[in-house]
Amino acid sequence: MDLKQCRLLVTPTSYARSDSRMRSSIIEQCGKVIFNDTGKPLSAADLARLLPGIDGYIAGVDEVNASALEHADRLKVISRYGVGVDNVDLDTARNRGIIVTNTPGANAISVAELTIGLILSLARHIPEATQATRQCGWPRLSGIALYRKTVGLVGLGMIGKHVAKRLKNFECQVLAYDIQPDQPFAKEWQVDLVGLETLLQSSDFVSLHLSSNAATRGLVDDAFLARMKKGAFLVNTSRGDCIDEAALIRSIEQGHLRGAALDVFSHEPPNAGSPLLKMEQIIVTPHTGAHTDDAMNAMGWMSTEDCLAVLQGLEPRYRVV
C-alpha cells in the first residue's frame, strides 16, 4: 500500500516528545496523520469517532474495545506504544483481520529505575520529608536502610530482571517468583527463586512485575496481603488491576503493611475522592514508569516502524496477533 494514500491515528500523549524527528518523519511519509492533542488517553467513544477511514493506528493506553473497533472500517494495524495490550480487544482485532503489535523491552530499564526510586522513597520517607521541609518543618523521620534488606519480585520478566540487577548494588537479598523462571539469569545474578508464599513471608519490599490477565487480576487481595511480612512495603509499577485497592487500604489502615507505592491504578486517573490519594503511607505517581527520554524514543520508533511495515505489506517485528 502506498503510504501517501494512508491515514494514520497517533494517540500516545508522549509520542515524539523527546525526538521531534519522529513526528515530522511520519507526517512526511504518510498522506494524513491525526494526533491526539487532548493530553489524555482516548475513550472508546473518542475512538469510535476517529477510527473511520483510518488505515494505521499507533495506540497509547486508549480504550480499544469491541465497540470502538466496530467503527474501524479500514484499519489494518494497531501498533501499541508500549508492551501492554490489555486495553486492546485482541479477539475482535483478530476477527476483523487487524494486526496488533507492541514494543517489548522498550521501557524496561525506565520502569525498573522508577521501581528502585519508589523503593528508596518508601524506605526514606522522601515525599513526606520534602513536603515538611517546604512548609518550614524540620522533622526527624526514621527511615530504613535498603542495604541487605530482602526484596521480593513477583514476576521476573524483562523489567523484573533489570530491577534485580540494580538491587544487587545495594547488597539486597533478591527473591523472585515466576511461573516460568529464567534459571540461568537467577543463577548468574544470585536471585533466589522461591514459591510465592515464601516470598511474601520473607520480603521487606514486594514489587509487582506482572502482565494483566485472568490469573493476575485481583491477585493482591486480602489473603495475599495478610501473608506479607508485617511492616513490609508493596510497590506496583506493572498493572493497576493486579491489586484489590480496597484490600490494600485496609491492610495499611490496620497496620499490617507499612506503606505502598503505586504508579498504576485500577482506574486511571484515580477519582479525586480516592483514599489512595489521601493516605500518607502511599506514594502515588501518574503511570510515569515509561516516561523517560530513552523509553519514549524507543517506544515511538518501534511502534512507528511496525505500523508502517504492516501498511506496506511487510511482516512487523513485534506482532502480537
Q: Which residues are catalytically annotated?
A: 239, 268, 287
CA distances from 33 to 117, 187, 293 (A): 37, 48, 23
Q: Is the separation of the CB atoms in 279 and 252 below 8 Å?
A: yes
> Which among 150, 157, 204, 147 is positioned nearest to 177, based on CA atoms?
157
Write out the DSSP string of 180-244.
S--HHHHHHTT-EE--HHHHHHH-SEEEE----STTTTT-BSHHHHHHSPTT-EEEE-S-GGGB-
Q: Is the separation of the CB atoms in 116 and 308 below 8 Å?
A: no
Q: Is the separation of the CB atoms in 52 and 31 below 8 Å?
A: no
Q: Which helix (H) or strand (E) holds 69?
A: helix 66-69
Counting every residue, how long is the chain?
321
CA distances from 147 to 115, 122, 198, 200 (A): 16, 14, 21, 19
- The letter for the amino acid at 249 is I
> Which among 190, 174, 61 is positioned nearest to 116, based on CA atoms?
174
